[in-house]
Amino acid sequence: GVYVPRFFEPEYHEDGRLSAIRPLLPGHRRVFRRVVADLDKAPYPTAPVVPTLQTVHDRLSVEIQRGCTAGCRFCQAGMIYRPTRERSPETVLHLVEEGLKSTGYEGVSLMSLSAGDYSFINSILRHTNEAYERQMISVQVPSLRVKTLTRDVALEVARVKKGGFTIAPEAGSQRMRDAINKDVTD
């Protein structure tokens, strides 16, 4: 179930368009998509390598869900990683605890294509802050859709110290939002 480019050769039409991808090894006819159905049972690194120099994203990253519910027309990742699957709150909190113990990071990012769509985002933020606010460990939630940024999320992100969240840009006009399947109005 793994595509290895060197085992395949692309073939092109005269005008340069791709016509086929030919396997170079016998028996390699087709690559089939694999989906991790249960993220709680999937292995996840609890002791990631920590660089010896400061990086831009100098914090622990924990994937809280995979996939996206929105179906925006421009988003390839939202289509490729379907269906949406969530880690349980217990698993997320365990990964945060183990990751912080093994790395010494002073921040955690709760990662997904749209963290605000995670069913337990408020409780995870609250529990993480309660567990680590004495150590001044901040929580960030990159990639929020406008509709999922709530007052509770903003307050929890700002609770310990200056945290961060990213609001995904939508579009400049209602016509454009409708065209790209964004469910947001003026």
Q: List, in order of start, the domains of the chain with CATH numbers.
A: 1-34 (no CATH), 39-179 (3.30.750.210)
How many residues can be counted in the chain?
A: 186
Higher pLDDT, 65 or 28: 65
pLDDT band at residue 177 under the 50/70/90 scheme: confident
Residue given tokens 């340069």 in the structure block: 16
* Ramachandran area for residue 94 (φ above 0: left; ψ -120 to 50: alpha; else beta): alpha
**Segment 29-38 mean pLDDT:** 83
Are the CB atoms for 7 and 23 separated by under 8 Å?
A: yes
Query: Using one digit for the tens of pLDDT, what is the confidence trace for 158-176?
Result: 998 876 666 766 788 888 8
The predicted pLDDT at position 27 comes to 82
DSSP class of residue 5? G
The predicted pLDDT at position 118 comes to 95
Handedness of CA 76, 77, 79, 80 (dihedral sign): positive
The predicted pLDDT at position 119 comes to 96
Query: Using one digit for the tens of pLDDT, what is the confidence trace for 55-80?
Result: 878 899 999 999 988 888 888 888 88
The predicted pLDDT at position 1 comes to 60
* Helix or strand run (H / E) with residue 118: none
pLDDT at 45 exceeding the cut of 70: yes
pLDDT at 29 exceeding the cut of 80: no
pLDDT band at residue 14 under the 50/70/90 scheme: very high
The alpha-helical segments, DSSP class H, found in the chain are 76-80, 89-103, 121-132, 151-158, 174-179
On average, the pLDDT of the chain sits at 89
Query: Using one digit for the tens of pLDDT, what is the confidence trace for 98-148?
Result: 999 999 999 999 999 989 999 999 999 999 999 999 999 999 998 888 888
